[in-house]
A = this chain, B = another copy of it.
């Protein structure tokens, strides 16, 4: 089934949630089928939304039977392009960059099916160049354009201060990057074919504040 031209970002954002549930369930011996009710409950959404979201991509469930866990998991991985290696560059090796590298490394050491790999790290501070973080050397930002292109890196994480972020984004986009996870607290300007997710930690805290009793 050809992918529809425009799928809402809200739908896309729920796919990793479903995948996470299926990953968990697949590790539980004996669970081969999952109803939209169960999948929804574990993912924190309604069964109707599960069915509607997945229907964008094909017919995965059987009425009254549910979803085949193994099959749906593979399909979601394919839809998210996680069935092959995705190479990532990490720019900015301050506290946040190092924490992200460690966090990420642990994730894919524990999960052999997790193919999102940070293959290059960059910083502009000469004192950090050559330092090994999780076994990967930190390289000077000057080498970013050439290396990102040569290694065919399509995703990048920006963990530099706000004032440096747009310059880094421009270099990444110029070298062929199509997706950016931005931790700098500002809005990046990128061409239309480049997708940016801004990790806004303040927004997460604001959501939590909503639930506080007055």
A contact set with B: CB distance below 8 Å: 9-10, 12-13, 15-17, 19-20, 44, 79-82, 86, 88, 94-96, 98-100, 102-104, 106-107, 114, 116, 154-155, 157, 178-181, 183, 185, 195, 197, 199-214
Inter-chain CA distance A6–B100, complex, in Å, is: 34
Contact A178 B213 (CB under 8 A): yes
Cβ–Cβ < 8 Å partners of A201 in chain B:
100, 103-104, 181, 199
Cβ–Cβ < 8 Å partners of A213 in chain B:
178
5 closest Cβ pairs, A-B complex = A179-B208, A96-B99, A95-B99, A16-B203, A16-B206
Inter-chain CA distance A82–B103, complex, in Å, is: 31
Copies of this chain: 2
Inter-chain CA distance A44–B200, complex, in Å, is: 15
Cβ–Cβ < 8 Å partners of A204 in chain B:
181, 197, 199
Contact B107 A209 (CB under 8 A): no
Can you list 16 residue pairs at the A/B interface with Cβ under 8 Å? A12-B211, A16-B202, A81-B214, A95-B98, A95-B99, A116-B205, A116-B206, A116-B209, A155-B205, A155-B209, A179-B211, A179-B212, A181-B204, A181-B208, A197-B204, A199-B201
Closest beta carbon of chain B to A103's beta carbon, Å: 6
Cβ–Cβ < 8 Å partners of A185 in chain B:
103, 106-107
Closest beta carbon of chain B to A19's beta carbon, Å: 7
Contact B206 A82 (CB under 8 A): yes
Inter-chain CA distance A136–B11, complex, in Å, is: 40
